[in-house]
Amino acid sequence: MGNDAEERLAGALPIPETEGREASAAMTEHTASKQSCRCRVCGSGPLSRWVHLPAMPLTEELRPLDDRSAPFLADIDVYVCADCGVSQTVGERDLSPYYVDYGYTVGQSPFAARFMQRLADTVRDRYGLQPGFTVIEIGSGDGAQLECFRRAGADVYGVEPSSELCRASRQRGVPVMEALFEPETAALLPEPFRPADVLLMTYTFDHLPDPAGTLAAARDVLHPGKGLLVLEVHDLARIVERREYCLFEHEHYTYWTARTLGEALGRSGFRLLTTDLLPENERRGNSLLIAAAPTDAAHSPDRLLLVDEEAQIDYDEFQRELDSGIAALDAFVEREAAAGRRIAGYGGGGRGVMTMAAMASSWRLAYVCDANTGLHGRRAPKSGVPVADISRLAQQPVDTLIVFSYGYMDEIREAVMKLPGAPNRIVSMLDILK
Ligand SMILES: [Zn+2]
């Protein structure tokens, strides 16, 4: 399903050439010494650590089966700022040497395609945008989302650092600049898009190391009187509620709730308009999807702004819950194995990779299925579980299937149940984690 194609890399500086568990120890020391760092969002602090996941891989470093080189592994440590409340990592590192190129196919999922068109139509209709409105997307990928906006009547332009994805975007006729979005990038945008009516970042904003700088650049790009900023990030309140530890990734610099995002927008000259752009059943798994506008723009915020989920996070208690979630997954797999049942997974994207990496029992999974053909014949980093086409379930049947990409549960269940020898039991990892 490639549901984590959105989990793309956005940044930055060299790290030491260490590998495997040694890298883990080195990184722990590195981050601990940075504990007194200033907050990357508000510049204040102090920061205190509340999430620790030891020796975790990169979500996309899936290597061919015969490639035995050690994957990048480092601890994931997440800190919360006592001043602004934003959760974040400290330091910056360039992870790009570890990245393996493969084709992204997120647009092939009917659910994802429906979401993208609904987002485009809703932004146009809700904010009264007229034909020919201009849309810029930062991290525009293969251009699938911008194509939906064009279908909705917009003139579109993308900014995307991956040359492979830029090529795919141009093939579908969506113009794109091959670049990371930095404050200087704003001035390089073509004339008709300065200013722009809509600036869109879906699962990109939390991959950028300097959120305040990004928001300042967004203000420069947007029309001051009618501009709209549309952001989609993972919802930290939901991550915590569901114990969805797989969404803590090296690729994420920041983690947001509706409240902390609304406040950061306020500090950067934006006003939060809505956290309710699309109903939850039409959004992607664990999505915080918001619209904001420059403070003086003519858009009105929702009468009822839902931003109080923050109260749900118990920073002192979460590590214990996280550990017991992982233990529950391991206990489930061991129980199945002890009963003589064969087990496989579904979802070779970020969720599957990170969930399996933290489990002690993932070696018991025969394989993990994924619809993304670019992942087939590759191995998930650290867990070593091979990724296979869904047809493997017919060739090498299993009794139990654990679905990591649970956001596509209905589609997956439908596809799997059609197969001869389909598993007796298909279970969402969320149901085991709780
Ligand atoms: Zn802060």
pLDDT tens-digit profile of 152-168?
999 999 999 888 889 99
- Which of 59, 91, 123 is where one domain is finished? 91
Q: Is 386 within a domain?
A: yes
In a domain, 360, yes or no: yes
> What distance in angstroms lies between residue 36's CA and the mean position of ligand 1's atoms?
12
CA of 235 to the centre of ligand 1 (A): 18
Instruction: Give residue 255 CA to ligand 1 midpoint distance, Å.
Output: 12
* Whether 72 and 130 share a structural domain: no
Same domain, 183 and 286: yes
pLDDT tens per residue across span 112-156: 888 999 999 999 999 999 999 999 999 999 999 999 999 999 999
Q: Are residues 193 and 169 in the same domain?
A: yes
Q: Where are the alpha helices (DSSP H) in 234-363?
A: 236-242, 258-267, 318-338, 350-358
**In angstroms, what is the span from residue 262 Cα to ligand 1's centroid?**
13
Alpha helix (H) ranges present in 20-162? 20-33, 110-126, 144-151
Q: Assign residue 143 a region: left if phi > 0, alpha if psi is -120 to 50, beta otherwise?
A: left
Q: How far is the CA of 160 from the centre of ligand 1 (A)?
A: 28
**Same domain (yes/no): 47, 72:** yes
Q: Which CATH number fits the domain that encloses residue 251?
A: 3.40.50.150
What is the model's pLDDT at position 407?
81
- Predicted confidence at residue 27, as pLDDT, reads 41
Q: Are residues 198 and 245 in the same domain?
A: yes
Query: Which residue ranges in the chain fall short of pLDDT 50?
Result: 1-35, 106-107
Ligand 1 centre from 88 Cα, in Å? 9
Same domain, 191 and 278: yes
Q: How far is the CA of 41 from the centre of ligand 1 (A)?
A: 5
Whole-model pTM: value is 0.85
Ligand 1: centre distance to CA 91 (Å): 14
**43 C-alpha vs ligand 1 centroid, how far in Å?**
6
pLDDT of residue 379: 95
Query: 318 CA to middle of ligand 1, Å?
Result: 20
The pLDDT of residue 280: 83
The answer as to whether 263 is a domain residue is: yes
- Identify the pLDDT of residue 101: 59
Q: What is the CA(65)–ligand 1 centre distance, in A?
A: 43
- Residue 223 belongs to a domain: yes
Question: Is the same domain home to 263 and 201?
Answer: yes
Assess whether 208 and 287 both reside in one domain.
Answer: yes
Which pLDDT value is given to residue 345?
98
Phi first, then psi, for residue 340 (nearest 5°) are 80, 15
Residue 323 falls within a domain, yes or no? no
Domain holding 291, by residue range, is 110-312
| CA–CA gap between residue 169 and residue 157 (Å, rounded) | 10
| 345/207 same-domain check | no
Q: What is the pLDDT of residue 104?
A: 52
CATH of the domain at 406: 3.40.50.720
User: Is 296 a member of any domain?
Assistant: yes
SS3 165: helix
Q: Which of 62, 91, 120 is the last residue of a domain?
A: 91
C-alpha 310 – ligand 1 centre gap (Å): 15
For residue 107, how far is its CA from the centre of ligand 1 (angstroms)? 35
Q: What is the spatial distance between Cα 220 and Cα 42, in angstroms, rounded to a whole number? A: 20
Within a domain: 41: yes
> Does the residue 289 lie in any domain?
yes
Domain total for the chain?
A: 3
Query: What is the CA(224)–ligand 1 centre distance, in A?
Result: 26
Domain ends where: 278, 312, 346?
A: 312
